[in-house]
Amino acid sequence: MALPIYASPLERVWHYTFRVICGLILLFLIAPILIVIPLSFNAEPYFTFTQKMLSFDPTGYSLRWYDLLLTHPNVPTNVPRDAAWWSIVWKDAAWVNAAKNSIIIGFFATITATFLGTLAALGLSRPEMPYRRAIMAILISPMIVPLIIITLGLFFFYSSIGINKWGVPYLGVILAHATLGIPFVIITVTATLSGFDHSLTRASASLGASPSTTFFKVIMPLILPGMISGALFAFVTSFDEVVVVLFVGANDEQTIPRQMWNGIREAISPAILSVATILVIFSVSLLATIELLRRRSERLRGISPS
Amino acid sequence: MADLAADQGELLKTSDGRPLKEALAQAQSKAKWRAFMLVLPLLSFILITFAWPIAQVLHQSVYNPRFSENMPQIGEWFRTHPNGTEPDEAAYTALVNDLVSAGAARTVAVAGERVNYEMPGTRSLFTKAGRDAKKLEPPFKDSLVALDKDWGSPELWGVMRRVSSAYTGDFYLAAIDLERDANGAIRQVPENERVYVNLFVRTFVLSAAITVICLIIGFPVAFLLSSLPMRYSSLLMIMVLLPFWTSLLVRTTAWMVLLQSQGVINSILVWTGIISDDQRLVMINNLMGSVIAMTHILLPFMILPLFSVMKPIPPSYVRAARSLGATSWTAFRRVYLPQTIPGIGAGGLLVFILSVGYYITPALVGGASGQLISNLIAFHVTKSNNWSLAAALATILLASILLLYWLYDKLVGIDKLKLG
C-alpha cells in the first residue's frame, strides 16, 4: 500500500500515523517476550535493569540464575563440575526432572494425538464420510470448551476410576494432553488433505498398489508436513499446559509449567526468567520449523509459496 | 426409440449379474463404513477422555450423595413423612442411629459438610454429635437437643430434609446466588454473600472488553500485514507468531516483571521523571493486570483470523470506490469493512470464548479484583471441597460457551477454522 501520488496532505499524515500505531502495537506484542531475555542475566535479584546493566558493565551480568536451575539439596555446591556432579544434577535437580517429565508426557501425548488424529482426518476428508460436520464439531470441541471445565471433568472421572492407583505413571495427564492436542492435528491434517488430488490414489491403485502401499508411498509423503506441524502444535499444547497437571497430576509429576507456576506463586525469583528465556528460544526454533514445513508442504502440493 | 423402451424394460446389470443400482448402493455404503471406521478410534477416544468427563460434571452438578449415603435412616424417615411434619421421637431415633454409625465409620464430617454448604456453621454440630451420639440415652429428642439446642431448630431439619435426597437442583440455585428458606421457598441470599452472579457478570464484561480491545488494536495490524508486500509482511508476522508460540506462563511472567511496582515500566516512568518514586503505579494484582496480560496473550487469536480473511481481498475494490468519488473513509466503511466481517466474527468469538474460560493468568496477575469464574471453580474443587457447586458453575459456563460455539458454527463454520 504505497502512498499514491494524488494523496491529500491529510492522507499522508494518516498514512504515517497509521504505521507508527501499528509499530507500537507490534512492539506491545513482542517487547514483553524479549525483555525477559536480558533480565535473566541480571547479577542482582531484581526485575528491572540495574545501572550496571544499562552501562553494559560485565559485572552487572551473570549466569547465576541459570546456575540456580541445576541446584538441589542433594547437589553439592563446592565441588568441581565433573561427570559425577552432572550425573547427580541429571538425577536430582528439580528443574531437570521437570524437563524430563514434560518431555515424556509431551512425547506420548503427541504420538497418541497424531496417530488417532491423522487416521480420523483421513476418514473425515473422504467424500463419503457420513455426518462429517457433526463429528468434526465433536472432535474440535476440546479446543473450545474452557480448560477448567475439562479439568474438572477429568478430576471427577479419574477419581471415580482411581487412575492414579493403576501403576502407570503419567497416564492420566498423557490421556488428557492427547485430548487437548487432537483438534490441532485434525485441523492441520485436514487442511493438507483439502488440496489433495484423489486421482493420485486411484492412479496408484490402477498400477497395482495395495491400499497400504498407496498410503505409505503416495499419501503419507504428501500429508507428512501437515502431520508434523499438527504434532508440533500438540506437543506445544502439552508442553505448555499447567491446569490439568495441577489438578489431576500426582505430586511427583512436576512438569516445567507446573514448576514455574509454583515458583511464581511462592516467591518469584529471577530463576523463573532464565527458564522463560530457555522456553522463548525453544519456541523460536519451533516457529522456524513450522515455517520451513509450511513452505515444503506448499512446494510439494504445487502451490507457489505466498 | 425402440432401444430406449427396451432399456426401461430390463435393468442395467454389472458384469456379475447384479442390478447396477444395487451394486452402486452397496459400494457406497461400504465406502461410507470404511471412512467411518477410520474416524471411529478417535471418536471413541474423545468420548472416553472428553465427553464422559463432561457428562460427569453435569451429573455431579445435580447429584451429591454425601449426606444421603451416610445418613440412610433419617433419609427413610423424611421419605415416609411429608414436608412440614414436626420431627417426632422416631425421627430423632433415626438421626441418632445415623450419627452413631456415621461416627463409627468416620463419615459424619462428610455428611456435616454437605449440610454446611446450605447452612454455614453446622459442620462442627455434626462432628461433635458424631463423637458424643453413642453416649446418648433415650428419649433422643431431649438428649440431642440438650447436647446442642441447634438440633431442634426447624431450619436445620428443613435443610436435612432437602439434602437427604442425593439428586438436587440446589447447587444451581447457589450458583446464581439463590437459596431456600426453612419452608423451601426460593429467595436471594443476603446481599453481602452474593458472589457468583457478580462474578459471572464480571467474567463476561471483562471478556467482552478484552475482545473489543483486541479487535481495535488487532485490526490495524492485520490490515498492515495483509497490505504490505510479502517480504516485509512475513518479517512482521514473526512478531505476531512468536508470542502465539511462546508459553503462556512465560508471557504471564513477563507481564509480572514489567508491571510490578519495582518493575521495568514503573522504573522507566520514574527515571524519565513522569512520576515520582512514591507515585509508582499499581498495575498488577488487580483488574488492570488481568486485562493487560490477557489482551496480550489473546491478541494473536484476533490478528490471525483477520489476516486470513483480509489477505484475499483485492485492493482494486477500494481503488474502484475511490475512482468513483468515495472519500477514503467512505471507501473503507462501505467497501472494505463489510468484506472483513467473517474475520471479525471469527476472531471475536475465538477471543471471547477463550477469555471467558481463562484461569492461569487471572490467578497469577489478577489479585482479588481480577479473579474470574474459572478461579472460583478451581477454589471450590481444591479448597472448599464443594464439588457439586463447582460442577454447577462449570455447567453454566459450559452452556454459555456452547451457545457461542453454535453461533460461531452458524456464522463462520467450524470446519473453516484456520491456524497460522
Co-location of B277 and B390 in the same domain: yes
In a domain, B29, yes or no: no
Residue type, B243: P
Q: How many CB pairs under 8 A join A and B?
A: 261
Co-location of B162 and B205 in the same domain: no
Rounded to the nearest angstrom, the minimum Cα separation between B247 and chain A is 6
CA–CA dist B253, A32 (Å, integer): 9
In a domain, A247, yes or no: yes
Is the pLDDT at A243 greater than 80? The verdict is: yes
Tally of domains in chain A: 1
Please give the pLDDT value at position B42. Answer: 93
In a domain, B19, yes or no: no
Co-location of B205 and B131 in the same domain: no
In a domain, B146, yes or no: yes
Co-location of B144 and B257 in the same domain: no
Q: Which of A202, A194, A193, A191 is nearest to A220 (CA)?
A: A193
> Which pLDDT tens digit goes with each residue over B8-31?
556 778 787 788 888 889 888 888
Instruction: List the beta strands (DSSP E) in A115-223.
Output: none
In a domain, A128, yes or no: yes
Domain CATH for B379: 1.10.3720.10
Is the pLDDT at B369 greater than 90? The verdict is: no
pLDDT confidence tier of residue B420, bands split at 50, 70 and 90: very low
Tally of domains in chain B: 2
pLDDT confidence tier of residue A303, bands split at 50, 70 and 90: low
**CB distance B249–A240 less than 8 Å?**
yes
Instruction: Assess A188–B contact: CB distance below 8 Å, yes or no.
Output: yes
Please give the pLDDT value at position B303. Answer: 93
* Dihedral Cα B258, B264, B267, B268, nearest 10 deg: -110
Domain that holds residue B95: 66-167
**CB distance B246–A122 less than 8 Å?**
no
> Which pLDDT tens digit goes with each residue over B72-104?
888 888 888 887 777 888 888 888 888 888 888
Whether B295 contacts B213, CB under 8 Å? yes
* Cross-strand pairs, B19: B13
> Which pLDDT tens digit goes with each residue over A174-191?
999 999 999 989 988 888
- In the numeric block, which cell numbers belong to residue A257? 509449567
SS3 B179: strand
In a domain, B1, yes or no: no
In a domain, A29, yes or no: no
Domain CATH for A150: 1.10.3720.10
Question: In terms of pLDDT, which residue wins out, A106 or B312?
Answer: A106
Span of A108-112, A157-161, A175-179, B282-286 with lowest mean pLDDT: B282-286
Co-location of B235 and B283 in the same domain: yes
A306 interaction partners in chain B (CB closer than 8 Å):
230
Please give the pLDDT value at position A266. Answer: 77
Co-location of B108 and B223 in the same domain: no
Instruction: Assess A48–B contact: CB distance below 8 Å, yes or no.
Output: yes
**CB distance A33–B398 less than 8 Å?**
no
A132 interaction partners in chain B (CB closer than 8 Å):
415
Is the pLDDT at A209 greater than 70? The verdict is: yes
CA–CA dist A171, B49 (Å, integer): 12
In a domain, A170, yes or no: yes
Co-location of B211 and B72 in the same domain: no
Is the pLDDT at B328 greater than 90? The verdict is: no
What's the mean pLDDT when you consider all of chain B? 84
Domain that holds residue A113: 96-300
Give the pLDDT mean for B179-185: 74
**CB distance A145–B243 less than 8 Å?**
no
What is the helix (H) or strand (E) element at residue B178, kind and residue range? strand B178-180
Is the pLDDT at B245 greater than 90? The verdict is: no
- In the numeric block, which cell numbers belong to residue B221? 495490524
**CB distance A191–B243 less than 8 Å?**
no
Co-location of B209 and B347 in the same domain: yes
Co-location of B153 and B229 in the same domain: no
> What ipTM describes this predicted complex?
0.84
pLDDT confidence tier of residue B1, bands split at 50, 70 and 90: very low
Please give the pLDDT value at position B416. Answer: 57
A144, A158, A159, A293: best mutation site toward chain B, by most B Cβ within 10 Å? A144
In a domain, B241, yes or no: yes
Q: Which of B362, B116, B318, B107 is nearest to B227 (CA)?
A: B318
In a domain, A33, yes or no: no
**Which of the listed residues B167, B187, B216 is the one where a domain comes to its end?**
B167
Residue percentage of chain B with pLDDT more than 90: 19
> Which pLDDT tens digit goes with each residue over A261-277?
988 887 777 788 888 99
Is the pLDDT at B419 greater than 70? The verdict is: no
Q: Which of B299, B374, B409 sits opposite A29 (nearest CB)?
A: B299
Rg (CA), chain A: 25
Give the pLDDT mean for B212-241: 90
Co-location of B226 and B104 in the same domain: no
Co-location of B81 and B145 in the same domain: yes
In a domain, B10, yes or no: no
CA–CA dist A37, A282 (Å, integer): 13
Q: Which of B221, B249, B353 sits opposite A260 (nearest CB)?
A: B249
Rounded to the nearest angstrom, the minimum Cα separation between B251 and chain A is 6
Q: Which of A19, A119, A273 sits opposite B257 (nearest CB)?
A: A273
A283 interaction partners in chain B (CB closer than 8 Å):
242, 245-247
In a domain, A225, yes or no: yes
A6, A19, A131, A149: best mutation site toward chain B, by most B Cβ within 10 Å? A149
Please give the pLDDT value at position B213. Answer: 96
SS3 B218: helix
Co-location of B161 and B252 in the same domain: no
> Which pLDDT tens digit goes with each residue over B378-410?
998 888 888 889 999 999 999 998 888 787 777
